Amino acid sequence: MRGGFVVAAIALAACGGEDEPPSTEDLGCKTLAIMQDKCVSCHGAPPLRGAPMPLTSLAHLRGMSAIHAGTPVAERAVLRMQQADRPMPPVGEPALADGDTATVRAWIDAGMPACEADPGAPPEAHPNQIPQDELFACNADQPASSPARLRRLDRSEWRFNLPSFSDVNNPTFAEVNPLDSSASDPFSTYSSDETVDDLVLDFMLEPGLLGERIGKEMILHANSLRSTTPELSCIFTDAAPNDACMTYFATYLLERAVLFRPALPDEVMRLTAVAKTVVLAKPLAERTAALEQVANTAWLTTRALFRSEIGTDTGDGRRRLTDDELAQALAYALSDRAPGAPRTRYRGDGTLPYPYTAGPEGHMPAIAAAARDGSIQEPTVLDALVRQYASGQDLDRVDLANDISGTLSRRSHGEYWTSPRISGFFREWLGYESFPTKFKDQPGKTSKYQMLTDISVFSALTASYLQLQTGYYNVVDAGGAAWKEPRLVDQLDDMISRIVAEDHDVLKTLLTTTRFYSAATADTFTATKATHYPYNLDAYVPMTRDGRWVTLPPTERAGVLTHPAWLATHGGNFDDDPSIVHRGKWIRENLLCQFVPPLSAVTVQAMVGPSSPDLTARERLDNATADEVCQGCHRLMNTAGYPFEIYNHAGFVRVIDHDGSPPNGASTLVDMPDPSLDGPVTNAIDFSYKLAASHYVERCFIRQAFRYYMGRDETRADACALTRMEAAYDQKGSFIDMLSALVSSDAFRYRTVEGN
Amino acid sequence: MSRITRRRLLGGSLLAMGSSLVAPLVRTLWAHAPTPQPRVVIVIEGNSFYTRSVLSPLAQAQINAMTGRPLTTEMITDDHYEHTSVLEIPNSGLASAASLGPLATHGVDTKAAVVLGLSCAIAGGGHSSYQGGFACARGNQAQAPAITIDAVLASRLHGDTPFDALRIGVGGVNQRLSYSTCAFDRGRPAPISTSPIDAYNRLFATIAGGTTDPRVQKRATALDYARSDVTAALAAFSGSSRERAKLEAYLTAVEQSQARQARLLALAGTVTPPPGPTGVAGDPYAEPDALTRLEVQFDLAAAALIGGLTNVMVVASGPGGGLDLNYRSVFETIPNWPAIQMDMDRHTLQHGIQIPIHQEAILAVTRKQIDLIGRFAAKLDAVPEGSGTMLDHTIIVFISDNGEQHHSQSREWPVLLLGGSALGLKTDGRTVVYPRIGKANNRQVSNLWNTLGHATGDDTLNEFGQEGSGRIAKGPLDEIYG
């Protein structure tokens, strides 16, 4: 605020006298002064109190409206300044002076001239504040690149780069580790300031991780490779291994266990020195313990914890990722493993010896091979590698071996698979990954199963719902074989995997399909008999893969936004909670790429009134947000959230609303960035079909994918990559084509060092 | 998020490293110094404790005298604080409150105070406000909104201790870290170690083992390697300064870890570690019962604080909406508790708050927590320090992380205070009841954190948190400090 007044004073001082006709610059300065005096208390940078965009500079006024495509912000500003029912500034704020609106109008008509005192527009604080059209305006003359970075491994990447041999019943021993991504990042793939600080290092060195356990697994893995890598044997068997043996062992650890690329000579020298000290200090009988200590130490290698995307000079100011950097970038775009990451044993069908998740060369060996021979720089090779590892169909689903114990349980999943970072994108973008943490009071309330959820927390439906969250349930067939049925999150994974594997009109299918994947319920356990109720299915679901694929009535469901996992993730705790807000906000931000100010910018008490038997969630919300101060945000969120009121907080189809009235999903959509979306919709199904038909929505989907796979926000400089993705996608609506176009783009393959 | 700089990270630690060898001497000198180092211990119940548990009959009578809606046996009481000036009840008979009896058992009821009526609406409600209550900011599960009070105090009070702060507690049986309650900064959560085994290893393994312990030797070898490797990586690095800072932070972490190792070894002769985990059946370190493991954590906390390992601690029970805690040890003491429900988790227990036996169990759980806090306080009270005891120079705060109830609205955050009399705290058996939220003279949790700041030497801490125009009053709570 204080800065705003200073700038306003400067702007006024720069204006001409009142008696003279204003020059064009006078108009600019007068307009700037009006904005600074009357607007920036809300339209600051960042905006506050529900304001959708900053107005701290004339540049902001010249920009195009993110909500009303094709209309300059200045035109919208004048419109709102003149609007009697929703005026700007809002009622209660300092009013405009006589002539202010005319001044701004004259400034527009004069071609929106500059003012010397204009501070200029700072970069957008959030990518959704960038007008979408500008992100798809490719200027091929400007070579593209991304910031050169170091990326610290995250929790999942570290876990999946570790071998797990000793306990196949607990393949997730390193799942809890301290390498969390920053909570402030929109996707886990972002790399902002994550590092290894004092606390992280301390927890990494605990016995369950590098203090003991990980080294054990690494040496078990090395031992398993001795038949195919005889050079490893000497370190296990020789009483006093010679220098060559020590060096080979250190090189093996670096290249095949922690770095997954050729080690530098000085890296080998340092770890060899540790190996000599540790191994030679102990007798052969304690050799395994010594090797485990060296293996644990190897994971503290800097470049093992920090993946490089620095590149080498190309002469045009950019750096091209090296073969190894590009291989790692590609592998981590597809998976949470490095190329060549060690294989793991899993239980399989219980027959010894337990099978491996990959061959002795590790996971994604084709990517590692393409790095070794340099072919990875070829776009055709990149494309082929993407297609090889992206998705497919596999009755055994080895891709699930680390998560699901036992072949029978894997076979309760769908037969289609996607790579971890493809399923990861959909989980994080749609947000349903967090569904298991969402508390639902009486999940069946207002649905036709309401009578099953009243009062008792031990009711069959409530118990089943918890099992859908945690997965802690077994199905037993007539022969006595037991397995876990998929959780609700897994069911949505399976539904999406099939859409991606079929890879045709992916977004449209995602938003409209009625083909869902359910858990089986034809079993002997009472508690599991209600796991199909969230889909409004009364009939038991058979224990076959085909049987678990269910087609739901088109009057009840249409795509992922009507899936119980998505609805519950973005729903409240109670049936009359304002789920509308959560769902509407998600739609605006993640499917329409609109900016909705975060709750931290809200300075009024944002809370609905008390629950009442006579009030629906919609009524509680409308009562609480009717004020103009609230409408800045809630006009956007509420209208996009109303259609989902045909479902309750847990995603069940409502038969009545909270007050006994019929469910009401009607809404009149306003301020949609795609004008064709404005207007009435009857419910979420109608809304989903409209969204599926919108090219604007498709572009937002492409932006979301860009963010996830690049691990950063998109900027105007990425327009060529985004356009390339769009062109690829538009061929037949293929997600894999779109991803392939991204990884072969300059933005993916080239880097620029900030400050250079 | 603020940028990492090596200079910033090293700022305090280099000084501390230099003084590591004289740490035992310094601690000995403290015992005779006129102004011992202030300490703060924040004990957190992760899903509310009820006002009923800390409201004495005398305090209830005083509230009833001021309201047209007298209290009887309600678990949640803030609706009844209709007075508009602060109610101070000296010698309020704390030990007669439903869960405070153990304070008298441990002889610390006269070094305690109860504070009622503090609000923290900005934090939001629900199962947990996450960091909200401790940052006095809008809490949410996804992102720490701001620095929490423990981190603020740690930055000032660490002195020459090996750990700026210790954050330990209990969560679900398989949970080892909780990132949901404390924060170093916005978007930078501070983990709480919810495994007593991990906490023991971190605090005492080095001290117990000495330089000949293989774990200590392995750690030293690993850190030496890491230091030489990151130093070489930095020398060859050609990226931007922002990226370089990540490697510098890693180097700093290695150096800090090495320095801490040296300082812990130096303390080996002066600190007596508590019994460590045994790994055999019945080991309390690995008990499914949350209160058994919490007792272990309190034992570790007492040993760490008395041993001078830190001056700021957080001890949390089920932080961040962690509701899968089991209280079998309490259920077994409740007559008529159904055998089939011995494994009930906290969430289910709290959802049945309308059931009398559930209320009884909830109050008993709080009583057990108070027992552990009282025992912890008594240990500090047995250590002479300055002109009083270590407890007199240590402020213990017992508070929840979400306010008045299981699904809270953050209307009231009941508080139990212990110790700190030498720091100016009026912990003399009083109960203070502020008018309820919305009434004149209501006060906020931020005022409590301001009070901790003032009591530990920072009289500039008057506007902690992000309440802005929602702040009711600046500064500390006069009724409990001054």
Q: How far apart are CA B84 and CA B438, in angstroms?
A: 10
| In chain B, residues 377-416 whose CB comes closer than 8 Å to chain A | 407, 409
A20, two tokens: 């003279």
* Optimal mutation site among B180, B194, B218, interface A, most CBs of chain A within 10 A: B218
All residues of chain B having their beta carbon less than 8 Å from the beta carbon of residue A150 are 239, 243, 246-247
Q: Classify A656 as helix, strand or coil.
A: coil
Q: How far apart are CA A279 and CA A522, in angstroms?
A: 58
What would the 3-class secondary structure string for A16-62 be?
CCCCCCCCHHHHHHHHHHHHHHHCCCCCCCCCCCCCCCCCCCHHHHH
Higher pLDDT, A633 or A149: A149
Which contiguous run of DSSP H or E holds residue A200?
helix A198-204
Mean pLDDT within A99-117: 89
Identify the pLDDT of residue A171: 54
Interface contact A148-B239, CB threshold 8 A: yes
Q: Which DSSP string do the residues of A509-578 spell out, in sequence order?
A: HHHH--EEE-----SS-SGGGGTTGGGT--SPPPSSHHHHEEEPPTTT--SGGGSHHHHHHTS-SSTTS-
**Residue A581's closest CA among A564, A596, A603, A595?**
A596
**How do beta strands A319-320 and B112-116 pair?**
unpaired
**How do beta strands A750-752 and A319-320 pair?**
antiparallel
Q: How far apart are CA A745 and CA A413, in angstroms?
A: 35
Could you tell me if A150 and A309 are in contact, meaning their C-beta atoms sit under 8 angstroms apart? yes
Please report the ipTM that was assigned to this predicted complex: 0.86
Interface contact A184-B468, CB threshold 8 A: no
Q: Is A203 on the interface with B (CB under 8 A)?
A: yes
Interface contact A201-B218, CB threshold 8 A: no
Interface contact A603-B254, CB threshold 8 A: no
Could you tell me if B230 and A302 are in contact, meaning their C-beta atoms sit under 8 angstroms apart? yes
Q: How far apart are CA B367 and CA B94, in angstroms?
A: 13
- The confidence band for B139, taking pLDDT boundaries of 50, 70 and 90, is confident
Could you tell me if A509 and A499 are in contact, meaning their C-beta atoms sit under 8 angstroms apart? yes
All residues of chain A having their beta carbon less than 8 Å from the beta carbon of residue B352 are 457
Instruction: Please state, for a pLDDT cut of 70, what percent of chain B lies above it.
Output: 91
Q: Is A196 on the interface with B (CB under 8 A)?
A: yes
Residue A574 backbone zone (phi > 0: left; psi -120 to 50: alpha; other: beta): beta
Q: Classify A403 as helix, strand or coil.
A: coil
Q: How far apart are CA A48 and CA A633, in angstroms?
A: 10
**Residue B225's closest CA among B199, B187, B251, B186?**
B251
Q: How far apart are CA B75 and CA B359, in angstroms?
A: 8
**Residue A654's closest CA among A576, A578, A583, A587?**
A576
Higher pLDDT, B213 or B371: B371
| In chain A, residues 660-719 whose CB comes closer than 8 Å to chain B | none
Tell me: pLDDT of A80 over 80.
Answer: yes
Mean pLDDT within B87-101: 97
Interface contact A274-B243, CB threshold 8 A: no
All residues of chain B having their beta carbon less than 8 Å from the beta carbon of residue A266 are 232
Higher pLDDT, A688 or A346: A688
Q: Is A192 on the interface with B (CB under 8 A)?
A: yes
Which contiguous run of DSSP H or E holds residue B432?
strand B431-433
Q: Classify B126 as helix, strand or coil.
A: strand
Identify the pLDDT of residue A631: 81
Q: Classify A132 as helix, strand or coil.
A: helix
**Residue B449's closest CA among B159, B194, B137, B237?**
B137
pLDDT tens, residue by residue, A239-293: 999 999 999 999 999 999 999 999 999 999 999 999 999 999 999 999 999 999 9
Q: How far apart are CA B350 and CA B405, in angstroms?
A: 9
Could you tell me if A359 and A343 are in contact, meaning their C-beta atoms sit under 8 angstroms apart? yes
Residue B391 DSSP class: G
- The confidence band for A22, taking pLDDT boundaries of 50, 70 and 90, is low
pLDDT tens, residue by residue, B396-453: 999 999 999 887 878 899 999 999 999 999 999 999 999 999 899 999 999 999 999 9
Task: Give per-residue burial for B173-191: e unless 16+ CB within 10 Å, then b.
Answer: bebbbbbbbbbbbbbbbbb
pLDDT tens, residue by residue, A458-469: 467 777 887 788
All residues of chain B having their beta carbon less than 8 Å from the beta carbon of residue A152 are 246
Q: Is the peptide bond before A353 cis (omega within 30 degrees of 0)?
A: yes
Minimal CA separation from A301 to chain B, in Å? 6
Q: How far apart are CA A391 and CA A503, in angstroms?
A: 10
Name residue B189's beta-bridge partners. Answer: B183
Interface contact A210-B222, CB threshold 8 A: yes
Q: Is A437 on the interface with B (CB under 8 A)?
A: yes
Q: What share of chain B is helix, strand, coil (3-state, %, to 5)?
A: 45, 15, 45
Q: Is A199 on the interface with B (CB under 8 A)?
A: yes
Most confident range (mean pLDDT) of B3-17, B43-57, B399-413 is B43-57
Q: How far apart are CA A95 and CA A458, in angstroms?
A: 58
> CA torsion angle for B138, B140, B146, B149 (degrees, to 10)?
90
All residues of chain B having their beta carbon less than 8 Å from the beta carbon of residue A194 are 246
What would the 3-class secondary structure string for A340-382 be?
CCCCCECCCCCCCCCCECCCCCCCCHHHHHHHHHCHHHCHHHH
Q: How many CB atoms lie within 10 A of CB B463?
A: 15
pLDDT tens, residue by residue, A530-555: 888 999 998 888 888 999 999 999 99
| In chain A, residues 737-756 whose CB comes closer than 8 Å to chain B | 753-756
- Please report how many Cα atoms fall inside a 13 Å half-sphere around the Cα of residue A371, on the Cβ side: 21
Lowest-confidence pick of A55-59, A264-268, A599-603: A599-603
Report the residue from A182, A297, A600 with minimal CB separation from B1.
Answer: A182
All residues of chain B having their beta carbon less than 8 Å from the beta carbon of residue A603 are 468-470
- Shortest CA distance from A574: residue in chain B: B407
pLDDT tens, residue by residue, B425-439: 999 999 999 999 989
Higher pLDDT, A478 or A28: A28
- Please report how many Cα atoms fall inside a 13 Å half-sphere around the Cα of residue A443, on the Cβ side: 31
- Cα separations (Å) of A599 from A584, A604, B125, B465? 14, 10, 14, 16
* Optimal mutation site among B8, B204, B225, interface A, most CBs of chain A within 10 A: B225
Q: How far apart are CA B387 and CA B98, in angstroms?
A: 33
Q: How far apart are CA B228 and CA A160, in angstroms?
A: 27
Lowest-confidence pick of A603-607, A641-645, B26-30, B272-276: B26-30
Most confident range (mean pLDDT) of A112-116, A396-400, A445-449, B375-379 is B375-379
All residues of chain A having their beta carbon less than 8 Å from the beta carbon of residue B140 are 599
Interface contact B222-A300, CB threshold 8 A: yes
Q: Is A306 on the interface with B (CB under 8 A)?
A: yes
| In chain B, residues 211-250 whose CB comes closer than 8 Å to chain A | 215, 218-219, 221-223, 225-226, 228-230, 232-233, 238-243, 245-247, 249-250
Size of interface A-B (CB pairs under 8 A): 158
All residues of chain A having their beta carbon less than 8 Å from the beta carbon of residue B239 are 148-150, 310, 753
Q: How far apart are CA A95 and CA A55, in angstroms?
A: 17
Q: Is B36 on the interface with A (CB under 8 A)?
A: no
Report the residue from B138, B243, B253 with minimal CB separation from A600.
Answer: B138
Mean pLDDT within A222-250: 95
Q: How far apart are CA B30 and CA A188, in angstroms?
A: 46
Q: Classify B151 as helix, strand or coil.
A: helix
**Residue B456's closest CA among B479, B477, B425?**
B425
pTM of the predicted model, to two decimals?
0.77
A670, two tokens: 């306003």
Alpha helices by DSSP H, listed for B194-339, are 196-209, 214-236, 241-266, 290-306, 328-331
Q: How far apart are CA B117 and CA B86, in angstroms?
A: 10
Task: Please enumerate in sequence order all residues whose Cβ is within 8 A of that of B209, keeping only pairs 6 or more positions apart, or say none.
Answer: B215, B216
Interface contact A306-B247, CB threshold 8 A: yes
Could you tell me if A78 and A101 are in contact, meaning their C-beta atoms sit under 8 angstroms apart? yes
Q: How many CB atoms lie within 10 A of CB A266?
A: 14
Could you tell me if A136 and A699 are in contact, meaning their C-beta atoms sit under 8 angstroms apart? yes
Report the residue from B138, B253, B257 with minimal CB separation from A599.
Answer: B138
pLDDT tens, residue by residue, A431-442: 998 887 677 778
